[in-house]
Amino acid sequence: MSELRTTIVETVEEIGRASAPESVWKAIKTYAETQGFQYMLVVKGKNSVIDQASGCVLYSDMPAESFDKLELLKHNPLISHALKEARPYSAAELWAMPLTVHQRRALAQINLSLNVLDGVMIPIRSADALEGIVLLGGNKPDMTPIVRSTLHLLAYCAFEQVIHLVANPRRAGAGMLSPREVECLSWAAAGKTDAEIGRILTISPRTTRFHIENAKKKLGVATRVQAVAEAMKRKAIAA
């Protein structure tokens, strides 16, 4: 738990670097698994989400057949509750609420078929519209408030990034430095001068400088110290 600081920073950064929605969801999933959540389902938050199951799914790692058979999104209080709730809520909280017979049956079937005992549902809202819901479940997940808050933040961050990726599909991505530029920066980080790098890579010192200048331009920085720092941050060169 003492590494929560690092976890948040690293996962938020990983999400920020992601160049495709799949890697965004993967980043949350990786954290959630360490906290005992085996399954994740992400749905788009249209008001029709309740009856039109398949069109709304953004990510799912549940077995496809149980997903269809259960008509998971119908009568499902896990999802319908998100239409009126803004805070993340747990499956246990739902059980304690007045539910219809259909809803109770849907909940029980999901639990049984996936062997899931509890989970957390995270509604994502912008202004007043429901953008989507992230559902996480597990057999014995960590349901402590701090884990829930972390997942809430990460889910929010993921939706931001996915919306950003959909809006600017080309701009995203970190691997924009050429292999030569990465090599030159790595040697600069190791304390080598232009002349030394030139000898190592069997190119002229001027070419070395040329690669590093291009890298600086691409990274949007003014000095080579900054370029090395930025490249490390983006994990373009090894830290």
Interface characters, 76-115, with other proteins (x: CB under 8 A): ----------xxx---------------------------
- CA-wise closest residue to 143 among 162, 118, 164, 165: 118
Choose, by CB under 8 A, the member of 44, 74, 164, 218 that binds other proteins: 164
Residue 236's φ and ψ, nearest 5 degrees, are -75, -35
Please, what is the minimum distance in Å from the beta carbon of residue 99 to other proteins? 22
In the DSSP assignment, the letter for residue 35 is: T
Query: CB-wise, 16 or 205, nearer to other proteins?
Result: 16
Choose, by CB under 8 A, the member of 150, 177, 197, 236 that binds other proteins: 150
The SS3 assignment for 238 reads coil
Residue 145 binding other proteins, by CB under 8 A: yes
Cα gap 232→237, rounded to integer Å: 5
**Residues in Cβ contact with 137 at an 8 Å cutoff, skipping those fewer than 6 apart:** 37, 38, 39, 40, 91, 110, 114, 116, 118, 119
Residue 228 binding other proteins, by CB under 8 A: yes
Residue 154 binding other proteins, by CB under 8 A: yes
Residue 220 binding other proteins, by CB under 8 A: no
C-alpha pair distances (Å), 222 with each of 142, 165, 215, 227: 45, 27, 10, 8
Residue 225 binding other proteins, by CB under 8 A: yes
Question: Where on the chain is the footprint of other proteins (CB under 8 A)?
Answer: 1-2, 4-6, 8-9, 12-13, 15-16, 86-88, 144-146, 149-150, 152-154, 156-157, 160-161, 164, 188-191, 193, 221-226, 228-229, 232-233, 239
